[in-house]
Amino acid sequence: MSETPSRLEVSIPAAGVGLDGDLAIPAEANGIVLFAHGSGSSRHSPRNRYVAGVLQAARLATLLFDLLTPAEEAIDARTARLRFDIELLTARLMAAIDWAKREPLTSSLALGCFGASTGGAAALVAAARRRSQVRAVVSRGGRPDLAGAALMTVDAPTLLIVGGNDPTVLSLNQLALERLRCERQLRIVAGATHLFEETGAIEQVAQLAAEWFGLYLAQQPDAIRQTSGKLE
């Protein structure tokens, strides 16, 4: 039986605010995955927490944190505006990336980003702007289209996961896939809708994410560019 990961509550400084986070580090971790949650969600998202547990079992540290402060979440609950502020979400995610690279417990770990919904766009823009730090990206039911021109400058291998019964988001992801120039794949979870609430759907997402991060976070940066099609 694997050891229980070490767990810490952390506060991440980001342009004058503190973002609450939950850091879990399994023994002999091979990397760390930062979670950018989706529209109207938080670090307590049950689906992201499930995925994080699967990644921890695969010897990957995880950092789930709130992209918005409690005051901002209250505003967003009324207006639904901040959840689509990709610049703000990206800035918060980059602050978390910078924090993880300064933090002694995680600084040596290869880093990946897992984004859901609008958090998927933030993960891709952050990967484009922190190219030397972000080694892999996974987007679950994401909005990569909202990453705009940043899509064409992402170097990190990117996996887009979309539900087969989420036609609008699937179409947006197919278009984004064509704009990406990095190692990339689109995987469709048959029968799943946007939130992957169907039986077995989030389990498939977690397994695909664990395989992708396990493949790319364990490699040296130069080897990543030579790897292709490993999850076909």
pLDDT in tens, 93-105: 999 999 999 999 9
Fold topology of 17-220:
Rossmann fold (3.40.50)
| pLDDT at position 2 over 80 | no
- Residues paired with 137 in a beta bridge: 113, 158
Closest CA relative to residue 175, chosen from 186, 163, 164, 165: 186
User: For 4-47, how does the pLDDT look when each residue is reduced to its tens digit (9 = 90+)?
Assistant: 889 999 999 998 899 999 999 999 999 999 999 876 667 878 88
31 burial type by CB count under 10 A (0-12 exposed, 13-18 middle, 19+ buried): buried
**Ramachandran area for residue 196 (φ above 0: left; ψ -120 to 50: alpha; else beta):** left
4 burial type by CB count under 10 A (0-12 exposed, 13-18 middle, 19+ buried): exposed
What mean pLDDT, rounded, does the chain reach? 90
- Give the angle subtended at the CA of 18 by the CAs of 12 and 23, to the nearest 5°: 35
Identify the band that residue 219 occupies on the pLDDT scale cut at 50, 70 and 90: low
| pLDDT at position 223 over 70 | no
